[in-house]
Structure formats: structure tokens, C-alpha cells
């Protein structure tokens, strides 16, 4: 008895209404744990200044975690970095795609969640670079900031 895997394409993934948070790796759906805080707060801290810089310098297109990039075909692989950037020169003449971007982003930012294993993060960095991502930033949120209360000596 042979066990064959059912592979899907990026186009089929776009048409799946009940798909949870996932990526497509070599045609197979890989479920992911949705991001939690401090992940979301860290993303906002990066997105705001990066968006403002790109806009002021007319360099933008900035995407977030909801955006997928097709980085290989037959079988398809769709990645979704926490923050992605595509330079203006690479935007197709027809404009931003209505589905997944048809290529890897210029920059992929991965924010490490408490549930992430560093070995998996490093593997993902390697996959991004192999797919043509020009730069990958790995951000590890700082633990809750310690409060410092100055102490004065009692006279």
C-alpha cells in the first residue's frame, strides 16, 4: 500500500476559505501558531518607523504577516514573513498583486515568538535566503522591562 500526499498549489491555497494560519511548503500546508504578544507589539514598533522611512523616501511597498510570497513552483512554496518589503523597482507594471506576490521579498523580518525554536528560525532564515530574499532580520523581543526605582540613602 502506497501513501501518497495530496499537494496543493498557491492558487488552490488562495481559494481555500477555511484555512487557518499557515504557509505552503513544497505543496504541503504547514500550520503555524498565530502570533501572540509580545510578538504583535514588536511588529508594530518595527512597522511604524520602517513605513515612515519608506514613505518619506518614496521607496515603499511594505507588507505584513498576512501577505504571502510565492518563492517556488512545482510544488509551490508560499512564505509569509512577519514584515516584508518589496522595492519599487520590483513592483510589476500592473501594480501590486491581488493575491500572493509572485516572488520573494527584498527584506523579510521574522519576530521570534516564545514558542519558536531557534533551530526552526535559523532554518527559515536559510530558506528565505535560498529563495532570493536579499536581507533577513531576526528580531527577538526583549523580556518585560525591569522597573528601576532610584533609592536614596537615609540620613
Domain spans in the chain, listed from the N-terminal domain onward: 35-139
The closest alpha carbon to 6, from 31, 27, 25, 23, belongs to 27
Q: How far apart are CA 76 and CA 98, in angstroms?
A: 18
Q: How far is CA 130 from CA 116, 124, 154, in A?
A: 21, 10, 62
pTM here is 0.75
Residue 60 — very low, low, confident or very high, per pLDDT cuts 50/70/90? low
* pLDDT surpassing 70 at residue 150: no
Sheet holding 69-72, edge to edge: 28-31, 22-25, 77-79, 69-72
Q: How far apart are CA 24 and CA 13, in angstroms?
A: 8
The closest alpha carbon to 106, from 133, 70, 137, 79, belongs to 133
The class that CATH gives domain 35-139 is: alpha beta
Task: Please write the tens of the pLDDT for every residue from 81-107.
Answer: 888 888 888 888 888 888 888 999 999
Task: Please write the tens of the pLDDT for every residue from 29-53.
Answer: 777 766 666 777 778 788 888 888 8
Amino acid at each position: 500500500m502506497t501513501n501518497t500526499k495530496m499537494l496543493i498549489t498557491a492558487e488552490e491555497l488562495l481559494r481555500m476559505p477555511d484555512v487557518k494560519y499557515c504557509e505552503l511548503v513544497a505543496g504541503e500546508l504547514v500550520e503555524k501558531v498565530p502570533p501572540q504578544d509580545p510578538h504583535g507589539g514588536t511588529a508594530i514598533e518595527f512597522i511604524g518607523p520602517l513605513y515612515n522611512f519608506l514613505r518619506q523616501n518614496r521607496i515603499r511597498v511594505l507588507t505584513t504577516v498576512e501577505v504571502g510570497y510565492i518563492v517556488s513552483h512545482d510544488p509551490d512554496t508560499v512564505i509569509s514573513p512577519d514584515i516584508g518589503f518589496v522595492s519599487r523597482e520590483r513592483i510589476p507594471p500592473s501594480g501590486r498583486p491581488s493575491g500572493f506576490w509572485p516572488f520573494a521579498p527584498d527584506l523579510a523580518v521574522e519576530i521570534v515568538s516564545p514558542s519558536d525554536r531557534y533551530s526552526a528560525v535559523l532554518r527559515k532564515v536559510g530558506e528565505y535566503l535560498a529563495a532570493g530574499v536579499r536581507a533577513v532580520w531576526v528580531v527577538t523581543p526583549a523580556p518585560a522591562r525591569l522597573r528601576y526605582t532610584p533609592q536614596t540613602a537615609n540620613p
